[in-house]
Structure 1
Amino acid sequence: MLLQILSHTPEWVFGLFALLVWLGARQLREGTVGLMRVSLMPLAMIGLSLYGVWSAFGNSPMALVGWAAAAAVATMATQAIALPAVTRFDAATRSFRMAGSAVPLVLMMGIFFTKYVVGVLMAMHPELTHQASFAVGISTLYGAFSGMFFGRALRLWKLALREVRELRGLRSPSAA
């Protein structure tokens, strides 16, 4: 059965999988990440997540509410987690020095495999589209992934704003 499922998978899906593994694996190592990439990656993953909800369940209000509620809760929960001590923002280069982490890879794979499994299930059992519990459950999972991505980026944006404010405070005439 698995070989049959894989043989009916469009080739571009394997390319997307490889791209996401590559992007996630790059984040396993400590390094420098630009502000633009820190901003674009969560937006891309949120877009992929919302596309997963829309493509599977259309504009189902309950699915969208489940997605939004889970995204909000996961965003808030992620805010409670401190950034690694080595994380720094350099305002001059608009980049972050960050510790390596498996979290982005896990989140990307979570969204990818959720979308893939849902696609397979819906192809095999189209009636699932109309089951509210399935729609809300899957949408909630997508929302949780999105919220974690957004929450991680939000922590970095807050660090950047704090660093810029401190830098401006040091240079202002009132600070002298």
Structure 2
Amino acid sequence: MDIRKTDMAPAPGGRAMPASLYRRHGRFRSAARRFRRKPVARPRAAPHSEPTCLIPPDTNGVHMLQQILSHTPAYVWAILAFLVYRGVAASQDRVVRYRSVFIIPGGMLVLGLNSVATGFGLWTPAGAAWLAATLAGAALARTRAGGDGAKAVDHAAGTVTQRGSWMPLALMMAVFCCKYAVGAALAVQPALRGDMRFAVPACMAFGLFNGILLGRLLRTAAAWQALRPAAASPA
């Protein structure tokens, strides 16, 4: 087979090849180059499209609340029942042992202190906020004139007659609800332990309620010391 020089063309590798094959090879390379340069069409998103919510907005909140309530230990509800009982009893004038007046303020103080220590730490700005609010609440309740303190004391019997008030029930429910809400929030979002925007207000609420209960106790203790029997006074 006789192939003339004019029918030969250089191949990409530097070797000679027939012109017909070279033309076919050139057309293939041109088609491949056009294919590479052709932009790929991307699907356009619908303007102002919003994701469709398959679950109603309230469903998640209700489900979370059900989970929190179902995982609450039974002793928590027992404590709540006891606090309600003591609060309702405190709404009426009553005669109680002097030592028993320390139970509720001391118990609420322990609950608040435990929540601050286990949730945020005592040696933190949150612990300092709790201490400051406790002192402020105690001073406010201690210096308040009049109110629902002790009406009379009996040193011989060791009893105190207290005025009825709904304030103890309100304060006990406030401390209980704060402790429950803070515990649930920390269980759901543990990162809140280091968030002072959450920790400081929560600890201040604990401290304020604890301080008011403590101030009421100090007023009763002051009345116990001040209201002495007449026989105990010097002639």
TM-score by length of 1: 0.89
The structure with more helix, counted as a fraction of residues: 1
Alpha carbons of structure 1 residues 106 and 167: separation in structure 2 relative to 1, 3 Å: farther
Q: What is the aligned-residue identity percentage?
A: 32
Structure 1 or 2, whichever has the larger Rg, is: 2
The answer for the alignment partner of 2:141 in structure 1 is: 78
Aligned pair partner of 1:158 in 203, 217, 222? 222
Is 1:129 equivalent to 2:179 in the alignment?
A: no
Residue 56 of structure 1 deviates from its aligned partner by 1.0
Alpha carbons of structure 1 residues 159 and 47: separation in structure 2 relative to 1, 3 Å: same
Checking the alignment, whether the CA contact within 8 Å between 1:83 and 1:155 is kept in structure 2 is: no
Q: Does 1 or 2 have the higher relative contact order (CA < 8 Å, sep 6+)?
A: 1
Q: Distance in 1 between matches of 2:156 and 2:132?
A: 37
Q: Which amino acid aligns with 1:44?
A: G
Checking the alignment, whether the CA contact within 8 Å between 2:148 and 2:164 is kept in structure 1 is: no
Any residues of structure 2 matched to 1:18-37 within 5 Å, and which? 18-37=81-100
TM-score by length of 2: 0.68
Gaps of 5+ in 1: none
The answer for the alignment partner of 1:139 in structure 2 is: 203
SS across alignment from 1:45: helix
Aligned pair partner of 2:163 in 96, 99, 102? 99
SS across alignment from 2:119: helix
Is 1:148 equivalent to 2:212 in the alignment?
A: yes
Report the RMSD for the aligned CA atoms in angstroms. Answer: 1.8
The answer for the alignment partner of 2:176 in structure 1 is: 112
What is the number of residues matched between the two proteins?
A: 171
Aligned pair partner of 2:151 in 87, 93, 96? 87
SS across alignment from 1:97: strand
Residue 42 of structure 1 deviates from its aligned partner by 1.2
